[in-house]
């Protein structure tokens, strides 16, 4: 993304209180709903005595830790750091932009749910796509960050579930 593109995109959004609110609240809601859906899903597996409960914990958990370690080492700057312009979504984190951990998380959770309930897994994937768009429009990630986050979440899920 070029500085001019970023500036135009975020300025148009920041100039509209309603657009700012939509971006900020969509980010908050999708993030919180995802982090509520996953434990509820795990609880349902536990109550149904599903043998895949440990797998549904380990695949996302191990993948999340590995992705977090990579982000810390790679330490890519965020758009607001690179361009020196404020983001729409308030964030002060320095670096650790690539890949997006929010988008990674929602997609690996979607893959996990998909193994048990394909329609619900696809619905979570659709929410993940919306979250990816919001994270870019909100100015906290570059497009490559969210695309890679989604791809890594899907690939880690597919590999993890084929191994376990």
DSSP 52: T
3-state secondary structure at position 29: helix
Q: Residue 158's CB: how many other CB atoms inside 10 A?
A: 14
Q: What is the pTM of this model?
A: 0.95
Q: Give the domain 3-163 fold.
A: Vanadium-containing Chloroperoxidase; domain 1 (1.20.144)
Place of tokens 């429009």: 137
Residue 79 CA: distances (Å) to CA of 29, 49, 159: 22, 45, 31
DSSP 95-156: S--SS-HHHHHHHHHHHHHHTT-HHHHHHHHHHHHHHHHHHHHTTSS-HHHHHHHHHHHHHH
- Tens of pLDDT along the chain (164 residues)? 788 988 888 889 999 999 999 999 999 999 999 989 999 999 999 999 999 999 999 999 999 999 999 999 999 999 999 999 899 999 889 999 999 999 999 999 999 999 999 999 999 999 999 999 999 999 999 999 999 999 999 999 999 999 87
What is the rounded end-to-end Cα distance, in angstroms, of the chain? 38
For 76, phi and psi rounded to 5 degrees? -70, 140
The answer for residues whose C-beta is within 8 angstroms of residue 102's C-beta and 6 or more apart is 31, 131, 135, 149
């Amino acid at each position: 993304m070029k500085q001019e593109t970023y500036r135009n995109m975020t300025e148009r959004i920041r100039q509209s209180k309603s657009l700012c609110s939509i971006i900020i609240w969509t980010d908050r809601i999708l993030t919180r709903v995802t982090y509520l859906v996953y434990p509820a899903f795990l609880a349902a597996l536990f109550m149904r005595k599903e043998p895949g409960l440990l797998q549904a914990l380990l695949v996302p958990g191990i993948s999340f830790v590995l992705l977090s370690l990579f982000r810390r080492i790679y330490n890519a700057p965020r758009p607001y750091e690179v361009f020196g312009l404020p983001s729409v979504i308030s964030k002060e984190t320095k670096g650790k932009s690539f890949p997006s951990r929010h988008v990674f998380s929602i997609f690996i959770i979607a893959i996990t749910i998909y193994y048990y309930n394909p329609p619900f897994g696809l619905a979570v994937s659709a929410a993940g796509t919306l979250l990816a768009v919001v994270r870019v429009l909100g100015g906290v990630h570059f497009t490559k960050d969210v695309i890679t986050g989604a791809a890594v979440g899907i690939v880690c899920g597919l590999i993890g579930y084929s191994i376990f």
